[in-house]
Structure 1
Amino acid sequence: MTRNATRRWYLVHKWTSIVCTAFLLMFCITGLPLIFHHEIDELTRAPQLAQTAAGRTIDLDQVTRDTLAKQPPGWKMLFLSWDDEKPLIYSVVAPSLNATQDQAKILLYDARDGRTVDAPPVNEGVMAFLLELHSQLLLGIPGQLFLGLIGVVFLVAVVSGVVVYAPFMRKLAFGTVRKDRSRRLKWLDTHNMVGIVTLGWVSVVGLTGFIITMTTPITAIWQMDELAELAAPYKDAAVPTRLASVNGAVATAKAAVPEGRVSFVAWPGTQFSTKHHYMVAFAGNTPLTERLIKPAMVDAESGRLSDVREMPWYVQALFLSVPLHFGDYGGMPLKIIWALLDIAAIVVLVTGLYLWLGRRRVPIEKRINELTSGGVMEPAE
């Protein structure tokens, strides 16, 4: 690589790293407890389920009526969602169909018999606060999109760091920390060594994090594509004022997708459905397909099945990114590995910050000479 190319990559790495370091520290520090959010919630906020069910079949229409009866007049049902590990149904209701996430309320029901389950609100508490800070900076969708931009800057910093430092690091045995040199050089070697060790992980987490921040645009594209196609035959039809039975819609969808497990039901007019359909979402039964969704669209007025189709690849990428981002695929062993790599990433960030804050006034031309000649590289300014 030429001197001019090295100089350009060096400056790109320097400034992209400076821009995103504070945000990356926030990601890593808040992300560490979020890796174990399920276990922490189980210890501190777990709902108390009855040991035995009442022995009756759950009536989803009754769950819907009960949820709405506990709200002010005019509130709308949005979703029913089934817990992956417990016999729980989350009933989500809001003042309007386009209400924000903060305005929604979530009630819990026993999935075995439909009885109300007492539990702290699932969208409140320390873990909920950390998740909102981690994913949106407490700023909602604008914060989420801004963090998506930071994710792009971070990926550029990773690529430029590899381009700049990898040729130099090949001149040293892997894991070398030159303890006989200056303190700053030891910090630099530590920074580079841990950075290379965690390179694959931070790339995966950074990419999946970026995909998650694109939830709103991805959903909008799906709405303009798949949902618009489903809604086209109804363009001249009035929006239904009386909805078909939710029980019936789920039964109809199950008959069409017998191998699936009901994951959630979206009401007409919500972001996952049209104004004329229930969307009954099915998850698979394997470790991979249980993260994917197959939607069955049921006419909300007649109760007839309209369509069953696979989600497009970009929506599937979003669904797969969430558990991969938090290490939620392989149980506790993978979570522990994710946590150790998260701590290692914090070491990279802290050492990089130390090197920049305590930088020596070495002209950039001298540092480029050291990089291109293979000499002793001092920490970058």
Structure 2
Amino acid sequence: MKLARRIFALHSWLGLIAGLFILVFFLTGSIIVFREELNLWEHPHLLRVAPKAQRLPYQTIYERVSIQVADTYLYSFRRLPKTPGETIEMRIYEPSTGRYGLLYVNPYNGEVLGKTFDSLYDILLTIHYEFYLGKFGEFLAAIFALALLGSVITGLYVYRKSLLKVLLFQFNGKWTNWRTISSNLHRIMGVWGLLFNLILALSGFWMMKYALEVRTHFSSKPTVEETQAPPVVRVNLDKLVQQTLTLFGGRVNNVSFPRQEDAPVRIYATSPGQNWLYGEYSSYAEFDQQTGAVKTVFRERDLSNLERFEYTLYTLHFGQYGGLPIKILYAFMSLSGAVLTVTGFLLWYRRKKFRKQTTLIRTSDKDRLRPSYSLKH
């Protein structure tokens, strides 16, 4: 078998075996890219409040929330308000139910507005990366993300001669029936979505590759954070936030509370001119939870080459940059990836049906041409 035929066969089988799961990747991805919009549509009363003169200090908010939800572990101010009407989003863990979730707080009076554990976004995200199959689903997601990556790379080879024609709008295919339509759509969307699908497949696999470490991944032991209540933050959070702003001179994005007795308070910030490709979590300062002394200052320039690569992949995968236009582009490209999966199956079905018909014709021809012998002759 020639190399080209082998690569084509590999391309076909990768898509066929993983096709349904890849379709799930694309369909759910086209929706969850609108994370903020989904949450605001579903829980407007949790994400928006009437603006007032001045917000409460972060330390006051932390203390008031601790009193209102004494049975809940507070892990961070996950998302701080960027506009006067936004609420504070906190990452929480509920030991009584064993669930991670989000808690929303009015920044003007410290009132807990509510919790969410299974929002529409949460459900779609869980389907996206584990198919609601738990750790086994994460393992499958890693395998199928790798299959998608292989499918994209082999597809590049299969359609290598069509790349320039399609990109330069010089491809003139027939659109006479479902066979030619599916073939043309597969070719055109495959070429135009090549870079996008390559980035999604590579970044998706990179984030899920931990699930391939079977021995540790399938361990059922709970984490230390899930069995022990986090220590109460004693140092004034507002002083730490101000120190962080002085160090980075930009915007504070997240305040992460210590989850163990010897852990620091970590505050993520963005500096002016920081590369958007590295996201909002590549720079941070760490403080002693008892004294408030600075323990670590990590800036963008301190990132290793591997870390730069990883942060870039994460940013490009989630599409949370560039505002609504980028989200719409991601949704459109994800839907085109879904069409690519469906047309790939149709092409395989057409080839299978054609081979079956060819086999029947050859068998019929052999029967007609076979000499007829008789005892009478």
How far off is 1:212 after superposition?
3.4
Q: 1:35 to 1:308 in 2, by over 3 A?
A: same
**Equivalent residue number for residue 88 of structure 1:** 87
Counterpart pick for 1:136 among 130, 145, 160: 130
* Whole-Å separation in 1 of the counterparts to 2:355 and 2:137: 37
Distance change (3 Å), C-alpha of 1:54 and 1:244: same
Indicate conservation of the 8 Å contact 2:47/2:87, yes or no.
no
Task: Give the Cα–Cα distance (whole angstroms) in 2 for the partners of residues 84 and 358 of structure 1.
Answer: 54
Q: Indicate the residue corresponding to 2:330 in structure 1.
A: 338
Q: Which residue of 2 aligns with 1:103?
A: 99
Match of 2:289 among 293, 300, 303: 300
Q: 2 CA distance for matches of 1:317 and 1:160?
A: 23
1:184 to 179, 188, 194: 179
Rg (Cα) greater in structure? 2
Number of residue pairs matched by the alignment:
331
TM score, norm. by length of structure 2: 0.74
Contact 1:28 1:346 in 2 (8 A): yes
2:110 corresponds to 1:115: yes
Seen in structure 2, the aligned counterparts of structure 1 residues 342 and 252 have a Cα distance that, compared at 3 Å, is closer
Name the counterpart of 2:268: 281
The code of the aligned residue for 1:333 comes to P
Equivalent position of 1:227 in the other structure: none
Contact 1:284 1:293 in 2 (8 A): no
- Determine the structure 2 residue equivalent to 1:247: 237
Q: Is the 8 A contact 2:253 2:280 kept in 1?
A: no
Deviation at 1:155, TM superposition (A): 1.0
Q: Which runs of 5+ in 1 are unaligned?
A: 218-239, 367-381
Alignment map for 1:1-381 (pairs within 5 Å): 4-46=2-44, 47=46, 49-53=48-52, 55=54, 58-72=56-70, 75-83=72-80, 85-86=82-83, 87-95=86-94, 103-111=99-107, 113-116=108-111, 118-119=113-114, 121-167=115-161, 174-179=170-175, 184-214=179-209, 243-247=233-237, 250-251=240-241, 253-254=243-244, 257-269=247-259, 275-285=262-272, 288=276, 291-310=280-299, 312-313=303-304, 314-360=306-352
Moved more, 129-138 or 260-269: 260-269
| Deviation string, structure 1 residues 269-315 (Cα, Å, up to 9, x no partner) | 36xxx833111211345571653431211112222111101363445
Say if 1:48 and 1:117, in contact at 8 Å, map to a contact too: no
Distance in 2 between residues matched to 1:252 and 1:84, nearest whole Å = 16
- 1:207 deviation in Å? 2.2
Q: For residue 327 of structure 2, give the secondary structure of its aligned residue in structure 1.
A: helix
